[in-house]
Amino acid sequence: MSVRVRRIYETPEPEDGVRVLVDRLWPRGVSKEDAHVDEWPKGLTPSNELRRWFHDGGSYEEFTSRYEAELAAPEAAALLDGLRRTARTGRVTLLTSSRNPDGSHASVLARLLATP
């Protein structure tokens, strides 16, 4: 299983495998043609309320806990399982516009995808 996180503003690479946008909103300044996004499962993204709370100064640890709770909901859990199956067959690259991908929801997703 191979999952990595990249900023969507980086040039696509052949090693990306399946490119999955994990942001709720389409990133500014990136055309859909240039992004080469294969999937955009909006049901895996943090809720607008959680996203705003985090950007207003919420702690990453509490954000992670709340986000994992959202991902436990049936629809999100089913999407997560589907993405996990995709990751088992090849590389998956989670794409985000976050300036700090390692401290974002994308890193939480990457960790959960690596967990059986």
Q: Give the count of domains, the chain.
A: 1
> Which domain covers residue 89, as residue numbers?
2-114
- Tens-digit pLDDT profile for residues 31-87: 999 999 999 999 999 999 999 999 899 999 999 999 999 999 999 999 999 999 999
Helices (H), 1-116: 32-35, 48-55, 60-71, 74-89, 105-114
Q: How many Cα atoms occupy the beta-carbon half-sphere of 46 within 13 Å?
A: 24
**pLDDT surpasses 80 at 1:** no
Q: What is the rounded average pLDDT for all residues in the chain?
A: 94
Write the DSSP symbol of residue 4. Answer: E
Q: What is the pTM of this model?
A: 0.92
Q: Tokens 């490119």, residue?
A: 19
Q: Are 79 and 43 in contact (CB under 8 A)?
A: yes
- Tens-digit pLDDT profile for residues 3-24: 999 999 999 999 999 999 999 9
Identify the pLDDT of residue 72. Answer: 96
